[in-house]
Amino acid sequence: MELKDDFSESLKNPLFKVVTDEAKSIGVKAYLIGGFVRDHLLGRKNKKDIDIVAIGSGIELAKAVQKKLTDAKPVKIFKTYGTAMIHWNGLEIEFVGSRKESYSMETRNPKVESGSLEDDQNRRDFSINALAISLNKVDFGTLLDPFNGISDLEQKILRTPLDPDITYSDDPLRMLRAIRFANQLNFIIEQKSLVSITKNSDRIKIVSKERIVEELTKILATKKPSHGFILLEETGLLKFILPELATLKGIDEIEGQRHKDNFYHTLEVVDNLCLNSNNIWLRWAALLHDIGKAKTKKFVPNIGWTFHNHEFIGSKMIYKIFKRLKMPLNDKMKFVQKMVLMSSRPIIISEDHVTDSAIRRLLFDAGPFIDDLITLCEADITTKNQKRYDLYHNNFKIVREKIISIEEKDQLRNFQPPVSGEVIMKYFGLKPSREIGIIKESIKEAILEGEIPNKYEAAFEKMKEEGKKIGLKSNE
């Protein structure tokens, strides 16, 4: 692997000259460290975040630098951690004083004391993140690599600077970061390190749910998340984080009949989806779309394995999962619930003759998320039988074409009843009552069945007709 080892272009950013000058002015040494250095060497696009370590006070250096940067926002200071942040020109620049860390078994928050650059590099999670570049005038641009991080970058290996048992037990979040980096960068986790993650997997329980979800979401945001989730399962981390997903693994056999491994099927669906959608919540829906199968799995003689109602059961599980993981219990969660609940609907439609009525009902129920739902269902076609695969996808093309045609005519994607309850009450002289609901439901059904168009005039006539049927008289 060829690394981009010339830092001259990256260091032309005027920020670094300001840091150099201000570090000298207040009598500290400063170094670029971590992701910026790693990503530059790999030729990856910089993510706009820059970490600077000061041999001395990082907060004082941040204050001095902020004063010299035009349009820089006020310094954000985090005294507990001895860090400071500046937002400037779209960059997030974090300053920290070099430090030593010591941990207890109960928390991943360390006790911190001042230390040397070497101490600071020792506490880093991986050798490739311990690389530093001097921002000092005497050796500006010099790369400091105490743990052979360059070699590990070249060999695409993730290795901890210290004994991995110490690194992972001290801060168990690093286990998730190892898997996320392996997934993002297409690196291999060193065998000793991989064994240590398995050994320390139960330590993940002390990590906050928010940080866990952040790492899971970053794994889901990669091109092929399956690699990361397989590592999570193999190391034992998944059973502590998402046991509902872990329990899908395995194949049972009765009377010579087996079912597919729903864990690996799920990951194949996620990978398929990632080829066609960057919607992170749709990716979460793909990850969770079959979680109801473990609870509904049943063997029926002469029929085989069944998973009746697994979509409904799975959608009910979403709230508990989101709440446990401290994920948003808002429209994002409801979107995932809807996708899981409806995850088989378009597939069922694509198996049979596609009627306009079925398409209307699908549009009505999916609403503005119909395109996401179809994309998820297309990803769910994982059969290795090429004939069946082609048949399903050709049928989905027909479904998509019919959706466009019917939507243009009936506008059901964001369906609102053409005749409101207020109109019904006024026409028949009613107060709020169940008769209004009966009439509205009849109008809706007539539209979905194609008996009347989704237009006010037609719906108004249907209202009068249904009112007569239940003995109502016009008040006009």
Residue ranges of the domains in the chain? 10-152, 156-241, 421-469
Give the model's confidence band at 119: pLDDT under 50 very low, under 70 low, under 90 confident, else very high.
confident
Mean of pLDDT values over 272-300: 96
Using a 10 angstrom Cβ sphere, with 0-12 exposed, 13-18 middle and 19 or more buried, the burial of residue 225 is: buried
DSSP of 363-427: HHHHGGGHHHHHHHHHHT---S-HHHHHHHHHHHHHHHHHHHHHHHHH--TT---SS-HHHHHHH
| Both tokens assigned to 103 | 């941990």
Per the CB < 8 A criterion, the answer to whether 249 and 270 are in contact is no
What is the Cα–Cα distance from 261 to 247, expressed in whole angstroms? 10
Instruction: Pick the range with the lowest mean pLDDT from 74-78, 128-132, 302-306.
Output: 302-306
Residue 305: partners with Cβ closer than 8 Å, 6 or more residues away: 252, 257, 258, 259, 297, 298, 299
Instruction: Identify the H or E element spanning 167.
Output: helix 164-170
The Cβ of residue 87 has, within 10 Å, a number of other Cβ atoms equal to 17
The Cβ of residue 52 has, within 10 Å, a number of other Cβ atoms equal to 27
Does 56 score more than 70 pLDDT?
A: yes
Instruction: Identify the H or E element spanning 103.
Output: strand 99-104
According to the model, what pLDDT value does residue 408 have?
72
What is the Cα–Cα distance from 405 to 27, expressed in whole angstroms? 71
Strand ranges of the sheet holding 49-55, from the earlier edge strand across to the other edge? 76-78, 83-88, 91-97, 49-55, 29-33, 132-134, 143-144
Give the rounded percent of residues in the chain with a pLDDT score beyond 70: 93
According to the model, what pLDDT value does residue 139 have?
92
Give the rounded percent of residues in the chain with a pLDDT score beyond 90: 61
Size of the chain in residues: 476
What is the Cα–Cα distance from 451 to 289, expressed in whole angstroms? 34
CA-to-CA dists, residue 177 to 2, 92, 156, 182, 433, angstroms: 24, 20, 15, 8, 57
Give the model's confidence band at 313: pLDDT under 50 very low, under 70 low, under 90 confident, else very high.
very high
Looking at the DSSP bridge assignments, the partners of residue 51 are 33, 94
> Where are any strands of DSSP class E within 24-78?
29-33, 49-55, 76-78
- Report CA 381 to chain centroid distance, whole Å: 21
Instruction: Pick the range with the lowest mean pLDDT from 149-158, 211-220, 255-264, 368-377.
Output: 255-264
According to the model, what pLDDT value does residue 108 have?
54
According to the model, what pLDDT value does residue 81 have?
75
Chain segment 248-269, per-residue pLDDT in tens: 999 888 877 888 899 999 999 9
Of 183-187, 358-362, 464-468, the range with the highest mean pLDDT is 183-187
According to the model, what pLDDT value does residue 103 have?
54
Does 353 score more than 70 pLDDT?
A: no
User: Which residue carries 């991080």 as its tokens?
Assistant: 149
Higher pLDDT, residue 150 or 353? 150
Give the model's confidence band at 67: pLDDT under 50 very low, under 70 low, under 90 confident, else very high.
very high
For residue 116, give the 3-state DSSP assignment: coil
Looking at the DSSP bridge assignments, the partners of residue 133 are 32, 143
Does 436 score more than 70 pLDDT?
A: yes
What is the Cα–Cα distance from 274 to 78, expressed in whole angstroms? 37
What is the Cα–Cα distance from 65 to 22, expressed in whole angstroms? 6
Kindly report the average pLDDT of the chain as a whole number: 89
What is the Cα–Cα distance from 40 to 181, expressed in whole angstroms? 15
User: Residue 74 carries which DSSP code?
Assistant: P
According to the model, what pLDDT value does residue 286 have?
98
Per the CB < 8 A criterion, the answer to whether 283 and 220 are in contact is yes
Does 206 score more than 90 pLDDT?
A: yes
Structurally, what CATH architecture does the domain formed by 156-241 represent? Orthogonal Bundle (1.10)
Structurally, what CATH architecture does the domain formed by 10-152 represent? 2-Layer Sandwich (3.30)
Does 3 score more than 80 pLDDT?
A: no
Does 54 score more than 90 pLDDT?
A: yes
For 353-357, which contacts have Cβ atoms below 8 Å and span 24 or more sequence positions? 354/395, 354/398, 354/399, 354/402, 356/402, 356/406, 356/450, 357/448, 357/449, 357/450
According to the model, what pLDDT value does residue 410 have?
67
Give the model's confidence band at 112: pLDDT under 50 very low, under 70 low, under 90 confident, else very high.
low
- Report CA 295 to chain centroid distance, whole Å: 24
238 HSE (CA, 13 A, CB side): 20
Give the model's confidence band at 109: pLDDT under 50 very low, under 70 low, under 90 confident, else very high.
low
Angle at 15 between CA 9 and CA 18, to 5 degrees: 120
Does 418 score more than 60 pLDDT?
A: yes
CA-to-CA dists, residue 93 to 120, 153, 368, angstroms: 18, 24, 39
Does 111 score more than 70 pLDDT?
A: no
Higher pLDDT, residue 111 or 300? 300
According to the model, what pLDDT value does residue 255 have?
78
